[in-house]
Amino acid sequence: MSKEKTISDADVSSKAEWTEKILAPHLETETERRAEFTTSSGLPLERVYASEDCLSNGASPGEKLGYPGAYPFTRGITPTMYRSQFWVMGMYSGYGSAEEANERYRALLDRGQTGFSVALDLPTQCGYDADHPLAAGEVGVTGVHIGSLADMERLFQDIPLERVRQIRTTANAIGPIIAAMYIAAFEKQGVNIRNTRMFIQNDVLKEYFARGTYIFPPEAAVKLSSDVIEYCAHNLPEWTPLAMSGYHIRDRGSTATQELAFTFANGLAYLDQVCRRGMHIDTFAPQIWTFLSAGIDVLEEVAKFRAARRIWARLMRERYGAQNLETMKLKIFAYTLGGNLVAQQPLNNIARVAIETLAAVLGGVQTIATSSYDEAYAIPTEEAATIALRTQQIVAHEAGVCGTVDALGGSYAIEALTETIEADVFNYLDKIEALGGAVRCIEEGFYDRELSEAAYRYQRQIETNDRILVGLNAHKSEEEQKIPVFKANPETEQRQVERLQALRQQRDSALVAKTLADLADQARANENVLPALIETVKAYATVGEICDRLRAVYGVYEVSHVF
């Protein structure tokens, strides 16, 4: 007859005692569902977490965890967070012509959106005009085509720019050009530019290994991105001149640790460049944001956002000697991870996006854009974009997670994962610095190799069913879900070409030639090109003409590493 268990048998005071008294007998008779449990990035997960699993290195809870609004900002960058104001709800949208994108923006603003992101088509991002041979078939397909100041004026017509909390753009290789277009467009519309809140991604380094819309060699690209940071610090202190971008790195297949490490390493390259120009970190870093993914692995993602804030605070204080607390506060824009969405049973993606949104909110971010359920097929329809926006509104108003700051703070599991990610990111940063920094890692293919290996491991897990994606490799359906799919207007490209040709006939050609020549002179002299770009844009020079002139100065990047 088995020994009867008493209350003392279940009375344990440590994890070791729990393992011996409670867990071990259980494992003798039952086996766990899987031999190994990890996060989506491969971080091992303990069966149960206890106090001894976190707050390591002899640090006190106050030193490692802290409080919201206090260094190291693990628990949030303000003391009240969403109790005072929800995050900015800004959807990523734009397609076709400037008029079509304008109509979508106004519709979403009418439905409660508080900001928006301008999705640019590939020709615009790569610096080609609509009539360039390489632009054929791509004009207005994956975003809106912006070929000149005239398009930018149409894009913002009748939008209350001074009342929108945040307007973002994907411009990277052409970040300085888009910044100049915003400035020129606002001046023409009579908008008080200092009351606007423009958010320019302007992080070109990740393009070389995660996305592909680069133009110039990396060194020149860092210089141009830094021109925007310097100009905004002096002239537009409310603008965000750089959003260090990890989203695309994660979408390429990185782990959560790689996403943060590569993002911050790239960011340090820009900061170092600006500091070498004689500017102190406290004069420009408070304007800088980061752009991260919000994945579906809730525990890992919450820990990632919390670790990101702690890492940034330490870097600013320890590496750059920052004194201003605003410099140390990492502001995060999170986009629910499109790479997690699948084409099979696409309506399931609504649930995925809701979970990813919840992870971002529990992680304490400042801006969220939600993916639409149809993005595995094409850019979102208006209906799908509205559901994505409603997902944010439901989480904000109904989920009950905004009433307390850092609701998961103090969770043994969350704190342990936060510390693990923090330590792993600093190890990566040390390795990247030892290899010569971000630019050298791009040129020699280090980032490419790391991401390719991570993406391969992820894909193999799907193929072997070690990672389950509902509807794709498990719980499949014989009946295909039919959903409406966005189709680009085939007339958009021809109309854009015709407008471009008319613009070239109507503008002052001599003024265009002069401003382009002045721009090239400033570039060759290694001066900040923003003032010259603004004048060039005002003369209605096109994106393609401007990029061609800069290509002649800086050259064009070609990948040299092969692996």
Q: How many CB atoms within 10 Å of residue 508?
A: 11
- pLDDT reading at 416 higher than 60: yes
pLDDT of residue 1: 41
Number of Cα atoms under 13 Å in the Cβ half of residue 114:
12
pLDDT of residue 464: 93
**SS3 of 369, please?**
strand
Domain count of the fold of the chain = 2
**Range 49-57 average pLDDT:** 77
Instruction: Please state, in angstroms and rounded to a whole number, the distance separating the CA atoms of residues 373 and 328.
Output: 36
pLDDT of residue 61: 54
**Which residue has better confidence, 59 or 515?**
515
**pLDDT tens digit sequence for 506-551:** 999 999 999 999 999 999 999 999 999 999 999 999 999 999 999 9
Question: Residue 427's pLDDT band (boundaries 50, 70, 90)?
Answer: very high
User: Is residue 479, in this structure, part of any structural domain at all?
Assistant: no
Q: Tell me which residue range forms the domain holding 538.
A: 504-554
User: Is residue 115, in this structure, part of any structural domain at all?
Assistant: yes
- pLDDT reading at 557 higher than 80: yes
pLDDT of residue 519: 98
Residue 154 Cα to chain centre, angstroms: 26
529 and 423 housed in the same domain: no
Residue pair 260/421 in contact (Cβ under 8 Å)? The answer is: yes
Q: What percent of the chain has pLDDT over 70?
A: 96
User: Is residue 429, in this structure, part of any structural domain at all?
Assistant: yes
Q: How many CB atoms within 10 Å of residue 138?
A: 20
Phi and psi at 189, nearest 5°, equal: -85, -5
Lowest mean pLDDT, pick from 225-239, 382-396, 474-488: 474-488
Instruction: Please state, in angstroms and rounded to a whole number, the distance separating the CA atoms of residues 523 and 395.
Output: 47
User: Is residue 323, in this structure, part of any structural domain at all?
Assistant: yes
- pLDDT reading at 39 higher than 80: yes
Single out the residue in 443, 473, 492 at which a domain terminates.
Answer: 443
412 and 510 housed in the same domain: no
**Range 203-222 average pLDDT:** 96
CATH of the domain at 180: 3.20.20.240
Instruction: Please state, in angstroms and rounded to a whole number, the distance separating the CA atoms of residues 119 and 141.
Output: 10
**pLDDT tens digit sequence for 109-159:** 888 777 777 889 999 999 999 999 999 999 988 889 999 999 999 988 888
Lowest mean pLDDT, pick from 40-49, 87-96, 451-460, 473-482: 87-96
Single out the residue in 392, 412, 443 at which a domain terminates.
Answer: 443
Single out the residue in 424, 443, 462 at which a domain terminates.
Answer: 443
User: Is residue 235, in this structure, part of any structural domain at all?
Assistant: yes
Q: Which residues pair with 369 in a beta bridge?
A: 335
Q: Which are the contacts of 489, defined by CB distance < 8 A and separation ≥ 6?
A: 96, 97, 100, 140
- pLDDT reading at 63 higher than 70: no
Instruction: Report angle CA 455, 460, 466 to the nearest 5 degrees.
Output: 120
**Range 69-79 average pLDDT:** 96
**pLDDT tens digit sequence for 436-491:** 999 999 999 999 999 999 999 999 999 999 999 999 999 998 888 888 887 778 88
266 and 343 housed in the same domain: yes
429 and 519 housed in the same domain: no
Q: How many CB atoms within 10 Å of residue 536?
A: 28
511 and 431 housed in the same domain: no
Residue 538 Cα to chain centre, angstroms: 30
381 and 296 housed in the same domain: yes
Instruction: Please state, in angstroms and rounded to a whole number, the distance separating the CA atoms of residues 412 and 52.
Output: 9
User: Is residue 136, in this structure, part of any structural domain at all?
Assistant: yes
Residue pair 426/312 in contact (Cβ under 8 Å)? The answer is: no
155 and 226 housed in the same domain: yes
Alpha-helical segments (H) within 134-217:
149-155, 175-189
Q: Which are the contacts of 81, defined by CB distance < 8 A and separation ≥ 6?
A: 68, 364, 402, 405, 406
**Which residue has better confidence, 379 or 420?**
420
Tell me which residue of 129, 136, 119 sits closest to 490, measured CA to CA: 136
79 and 199 housed in the same domain: yes
Q: What percent of the chain has pLDDT over 90?
A: 72
- pLDDT reading at 307 higher than 70: yes
User: Is residue 352, in this structure, part of any structural domain at all?
Assistant: yes
510 and 436 housed in the same domain: no
Instruction: Please state, in angstroms and rounded to a whole number, the distance separating the CA atoms of residues 507 and 516.
Output: 14
Q: Could you identify the residue written with the tokens 């695309």?
A: 248
Residue pair 371/406 in contact (Cβ under 8 Å)? The answer is: no
Tell me which residue of 119, 124, 155, 153 sits closest to 138, measured CA to CA: 124
**pLDDT tens digit sequence for 158-190:** 887 767 777 888 899 999 999 999 999 988 888
**Range 301-317 average pLDDT:** 98
**Range 498-513 average pLDDT:** 97
Distances in Å between the alpha carbon of 67 and those of 71, 184, 322?
8, 42, 20
423 and 541 housed in the same domain: no
User: Is residue 453, in this structure, part of any structural domain at all?
Assistant: no
**Range 265-281 average pLDDT:** 98
